[in-house]
Amino acid sequence: MKEERREVIYRHAKKWILEAGELIRKKINDPLIVETKSNPKDLVTAIDRETEYFLAKNIKSTFPDHFLFSEEGYGEDLETLDGVVWIVDPIDGTMNFVKQKRNFAISIGIFYNGIGEIGLVYDCMGGNLYTALRGKGAFKNSERLPDLAPNLTLEESILDFNHYLLCQNDVIDERVMQRLVEKIRGARSYCCAALALAYVAEGIVDGYLTKKLAPWDIAGGMIIANEVGAVTTKLDGNPVNMLMNGSTLTCHPAIQKEIIHDYLKKGKK
């Protein structure tokens, strides 16, 4: 993608994500109509749909040749990432949104012919906007995030993952995950993929392990984390398919091989 074109797309995306955040803040204390989707823990609200509609309307009216792949039904069914594809989650961390009114984010990842070019994650209640343009660095608001420090051991690491991985599950043997927790310095569960990935970029955590998430959950944050040197793969170390749901690992490169080979591959079901 030509630099001038990418800058234009980025400026629009930044403007729209900030405006979407303002719309959410104005309605955060309104009575919520909460529905469930795939299961009782998979929530959606009218604000999720309104936010996605706002973003979809702006994307399609400004860039009619672009494609939208998104959570709440305003995007297209895509079989490839050819062209410019916006992968959008209007509210990532809906459970946090409903119960806490914080710790959720708007996530936008923009891909060109399969390559992540622009990432944005907006913690609209915390007022923090994480952004990245491929090859141009990652930022928290106006402050550039440093590249990940070169040296890190697993014993020094803090990892974020869903607590269900420590219970009986269909992804990884929970006993192997328990051994991983014993090895690392600490574990966290922010229950918002977009923010967890932004925290990897910021160095707040050193890795994020997902359990069967959708592409829109990780697209924006993955681009940001990768820009400071983090690496993202499936649990077996193979490349991520950004058109399919899956379990992924994004982490500091110094600990990736040990996590995959000593824990994830051994515990994979």
Mean pLDDT of 136-160: 97
Q: What is the pLDDT of residue 73?
A: 83
Q: How far apart are CA 98 and CA 108, in angstroms?
A: 21
pLDDT of 42? 73
pLDDT at 165: 92
pTM above 0.85, yes or no: yes
Say if residues 88 and 54 touch (Cβ distance below 8 Å).
no
pLDDT at 71 (0 to 100) = 82
CATH number of 3-144: 3.30.540.10
Tell me the pLDDT tens digit for each residue of 180-227. 999 999 999 999 999 999 999 999 999 999 988 999 999 999 999 999
How far apart are alpha carbons 175 and 127 in whole angstroms? 38
Q: How far apart are CA 79 and CA 77, in angstroms?
A: 7
Q: Which CATH class is domain 154-267?
A: alpha beta
Which among 48, 52, 71, 206 is annotated as catalytic? 71
Has 89 been annotated as catalytic? yes
Quote the pLDDT of residue 33. 78
Q: Rounded mean pLDDT of the chain?
A: 95
pLDDT for residue 17 is more than 90: yes
The mean per-residue pLDDT over the stretch 90-117 comes to 96
Question: By C-alpha distance, which of 260, 208, 210 is closest to 230?
Answer: 208
Catalytic residue (one of 94, 210, 248, 250): 94
CA distances from 45 to 155, 207, 257 (A): 40, 29, 39
Question: Any idea where the domains of the chain sit in the sequence?
Answer: 3-144, 154-267
User: Is 262 part of the annotated catalytic residue set?
Assistant: no
Which has more pLDDT, 263 or 36?
263
Active site residue 94: yes
Q: What are the tens digits of pLDDT across the range 66-76?
A: 999 998 889 99
The percent of residues in the chain predicted with pLDDT above 70, rounded, is 100
Whether the CB-CB separation of 246 and 240 falls below 8 Å is answered with yes
pLDDT tops 80 at residue 245: yes
Average pLDDT over residues 100-114: 97
Which residue in 9, 17, 87, 91 is the catalytic one?
91
Q: What is the pLDDT of residue 203?
A: 97
- For the chain, count helices (H), then strands (E): 8, 14
User: Are 83 and 54 in contact, with CB atoms under 8 Å apart?
Assistant: no
What is the arithmetic mean of pLDDT over 147-160? Answer: 96
Catalytic residue among 17, 217, 223, 248: 217
* Of 48, 52, 89, 206, catalytic: 89
Catalytic residue selected from 48, 52, 72, 92: 92
Tens of pLDDT along 20-57?
999 999 999 988 878 887 777 777 888 999 999 999 99
| Residue 92 annotated among the catalytic residues of the structure | yes
pLDDT of residue 39: 75
